[in-house]
Chains A and B, each alone.
Chain A
Amino acid sequence: MQTLKLVAVSAGLSSPSSTRLLTDRLLQAARYRLAEQEYAVDVQVVELRDLAVDIANNFATGFPSGRLQDAIDTVTGADGVIAVTPVFTASYSGLFKSFFDLIDPAALTGTPVLIGATGGTARHSLVLDHALRPLFAYLRALVVPTAVYAASEDWGSGGDAYTEGLPSRITRAGNEFADTVAARPAGRVEDDEVVPFERQLADLRLD
């Protein structure tokens, strides 16, 4: 049976980090759902903190270091991507944005993406829809409807009459994401062939 590759990108900075914690919970939810459907799943987490200097250097030199290239290849080669950031100054963190700035704009086209964010207060929860969702819309990724925001208080409460608690939101998001990944046709083909010169000339009507 085909193995599905799930890759999570976590932009948390501390250790332990609530961003990493949310990342792991989302991954776990997706895994359970896929395991129920008897898919083999391979999971990798890219911690952006470990790549912070490499990411900055890429902006200075114009090319990624070997290990940053590996991380980029891991993300763009995934069957589904979970992307989680802390909220900094009313948006995703600069490190999170910088990493995705270095990914080819076409490399995530059609890739299922589950977005998540963490913050000290629930007042920032619309960052998911005002910042993260447009970012992945630009990258033409397939963002699943449920996105998960975890405020500090969410880790210790079970929801209320108006909102589900964090665990059930994580499960719903994980299920949507897993189903989208499973439904997606497998194996993008790398198109590395050169356009023959005759055709390049013909396009200019110079033949």
Chain B
Amino acid sequence: MQFGIFTVGDVTTDPTTGRTPTEHERIKNTVAIALKAEEVGLDVFATGEHHNPPFVPSSPTTLLGHIAARTENLILSTSTTLITTNDPVKIAEDYATLQHLADGRVDLMMGRGNTGPVYPWFGQDIRQGIPLAIEHYALLHKLWREDVVDWEGKFRSALQGFTSTPRPLDDVPPFVWHGSIRSPEIAEQAAYYGDGFFANHIFWPKQHTEKMVHLYRRRYAHYGHGTPEQAIVGLGGQVFMRKNSQDAVREFRPYFDNAPVYGHGPSLEEFSRETPLTVGSPQEVIERTLSFRDYVGDYQRQLFLVDHAGLPLKTVLEQLDILGEEVVPVLRKEFANLRPAGVPDSAPLHPAVLASRTEKES
């Protein structure tokens, strides 16, 4: 099972000091956070993609390419890549290039983006969000699997005799997750292709996650990729930890109360009850995370959000130390013990796919 972190990339004022980092600081801090993730033994770093303030990650492959050059083992991923407003041809080229530079340590997560005005900036219309996600991904899927593509669709100019270069590393296309909070069409899309399904699982009640994951598992089996239990599931999560639970709550509360997205609403206690947010001791985070399995089954990837709402870099790096030293080693062991034989412990990523192909050929 893989553990990691995902970032939204927000530039947010620290409510305890009133200080707002510059974009430059935020970008450099993001790199520091990714390097720390590798240092403490996490498996995955994923970045969001946004094209409006107060967010900085508008160019994910530039960021991930830089991190790739400074890490050895970390898997570089996205949370999410906008399949609606990006040209699928450019996604195919950018991420294949990244895959070569990172020696295969790349997968990505498709998402639609929910900010209306962003769509027209890229010549699209949010009301066509689902059809765009379906058509664009159908093209991307083809571009990574067929050397010469003839293609015609509704939303993009046609392609005749087009070859996307570079070809995926060793002809193994990057593994793809499809992320969604509550659109059954996207769970269905992930199931159809036998791709992974990632439930964002933060800021929302677990019922959405439960319903979508079950739908995805059922349809994954329907399309003949395996049993429902073998479907590839990833989950988000949001944590803040200190040795003593009360210290975690005291320190995180001002960030919670003023956070973008959910701040100025319910109390930290109510929100922790209604959503997967866990603020407390490492042991509490371990127990809560293990309980996710009760409603989604055995899953393959857990990403935590640890760097938003204006938390200073120093605090985020401390969170990563706690995750790496006290939380993830226990979770790895516990999840592995619980996982039945026949249920994969990882998505089929580049090295494994390549190895199994070499084995078959020899």
Contacts and interface: CB of A to CB of B under 8 A. Distances in A.
Contacts of A138: none
A56 B270 CA distance: 14
B185 A200 contact: yes
Interface string B187-199: 1110110000000
A37 interface: no
Given A200-B134, A201-B138, A195 B205 contact: no
Interface in A83-112: none
Nearest to A196: B188
Contacts of A196: 188
A62 B187 contact: no
A25 to B, nearest CB: 35
B185 A195 contact: yes
Interface string A166-207: 000000000000000000000000000011110011011110
A204 B134 contact: yes
A59 B205 CA distance: 15
A60 B189 contact: no
B188 A61 contact: no
Interface residues of B, number: 29
Given A63-B205, A195-B185, A197-B189, A57 B135 contact: no
How big is chain A's contact interface, by range? Answer: 10 to 19
Interface in A28-65: 56-57, 59-63, 65
Contacts of B184: 194-195
Contacts of A61: 203, 261-262, 265-266, 271
Contacts, number: 62
B263 interface: yes
A65 B266 contact: yes
Contacts of B204: 62-63
A195 B203 contact: no
A66 interface: yes
B188 A195 contact: yes
Nearest to B184: A194
Nearest to B133: A200
B274 A66 contact: yes
Given A56-B265, A197-B192, A65 B274 contact: yes
B154 interface: yes
B185 A206 contact: no
A200 B154 CA distance: 13
Interface in A124-143: none
B136 to A, nearest CB: 10
**By CB atoms of chain A within 10 A, which of B131, B264, B265, B271 has the most?**
B265
A66 B206 CA distance: 12
B116 interface: no
A60 B266 contact: yes
19 contacts: A57-B265, A60-B263, A60-B266, A61-B265, A63-B274, A65-B266, A66-B274, A194-B184, A194-B185, A194-B188, A195-B184, A196-B188, A197-B191, A197-B223, A200-B188, A201-B134, A204-B131, A204-B154, A205-B154
Interface of B: 130-131, 134-135, 138, 153-154, 184-185, 187-189, 191-192, 203-205, 215, 219, 223, 261-266, 270-271, 274
Given A61-B261, A197-B189, A197-B192, 20 more contacts: A56-B265, A57-B265, A57-B266, A60-B266, A61-B203, A61-B265, A61-B266, A62-B203, A62-B204, A63-B204, A63-B205, A63-B274, A65-B270, A194-B184, A197-B191, A203-B131, A204-B135, A204-B138, A206-B134, A206-B153
Top 7 nearest A-B pairs (CB, nearest first) are A60-B265, A197-B192, A57-B265, A57-B266, A194-B184, A61-B262, A61-B265
